[in-house]
Amino acid sequence: MNKNQLGSTVQYLEYLKLSGIDDLFLRSREENNSELNLETLQRKYSQCKKCDLAENRIKFVYGEGNSHARLVFIGEAPGADENRSGKPFVGKAGQLLTRILQAIGLTREEVYITNVVKCRPPNNRDPHTTEIESCRPYLDEQLKLIRPDLIVLLGRVAAVSLLDMKLSLAKFRGTTYLYNNIPTIVTYHPSALLRNPVYKRPTWEDFKKIRREYFSDNEPEVIDGN
Ligand code: SF4
């Protein structure tokens, strides 16, 4: 800031004070930059060839949503629709996720949605450990920029990949873990609900818990999954 700019800023602050405004709330430079950084990083990694999943990639699916989201959803990997569009959770499972979010009073624009790996595994197979480990720095970097209050892992593959515990989905549920020091809970992947409606009720219970934690300032009890 040069001398003239400093002078105008001081004048402006004096004017605000005379107008009875004593407090200013400013975003930090880091916060302002997180959207820009996510976009820059998305472009930077879009041609990544760190693992075999690059071979069949049509589009790199980095993630989408609010760069200051308090809530981040992480699935396992892009599917065919996502591979074509470059956006996460846009197929039938994604549409169901959108409806579930709406049911708890949230929109996709308020949250951030991504996957453990950013390129589609062939025939929708589970991503291999080496692929997950190759891609994990991208996810960790996203979380560092977004700094959410709560992570929701969608499905067992995402939970096993990030929490380093081999439990059934039913056993993962109901506990709050820590991933990169961020409270993290696990629920069913929406595609599981499409295959088997019996999972709808427990998923709805989990989303009611997500809503309670999202709209309250209570600190959840956590288990460190790092
Ligand atoms: S899955 Fe991740 S690490 Fe593998 S090629 Fe795609 S972006 Fe790179």
Nearest CA, atom 4, ligand 1? 51
Residue 65 CA, ligand 1 centroid: distance in Å: 20
pLDDT, one tens digit per residue, over 59-106 is 999 999 999 999 999 999 999 999 999 999 999 999 999 999 999 999
SS3 91: coil
Q: Are strands 177-179 and 64-65 parallel, antiparallel or unpaired?
A: unpaired
Residue to substitute in 116, 119, 139, 140 for testing ligand 1 pocket (most ligand atoms within 8 angstroms of CB): 119
Report yes or no on 93 lying in a domain. yes
**Domain interval for residue 173:** 29-214
Greater model confidence, 186 or 8:
186
Contact residues of ligand 1, CB 6 A cut-off: 45, 48-51, 53-54, 60, 117-119, 131, 134-135
Q: What is the C-alpha to C-alpha distance for residues 1 and 48, in angstroms, rounded to an integer?
A: 38
Report yes or no on 222 lying in a domain. no
Q: What is the C-alpha to C-alpha distance for residues 4 and 184, in angstroms, rounded to an integer?
A: 48
pLDDT, one tens digit per residue, over 202-216 is 999 999 999 998 887
Report yes or no on 76 lying in a domain. yes
Report yes or no on 226 lying in a domain. no
Report yes or no on 36 lying in a domain. yes
Q: Which CATH number do you get for residue 176?
A: 3.40.470.10
Report yes or no on 75 lying in a domain. yes
> Which pTM was predicted?
0.83
Tell me how far CA of residue 79 lies from CA of 36, 59, 60, 61, in angstroms: 26, 11, 11, 10
Report yes or no on 18 lying in a domain. no
Structural domain count of the chain = 1
Report yes or no on 221 lying in a domain. no
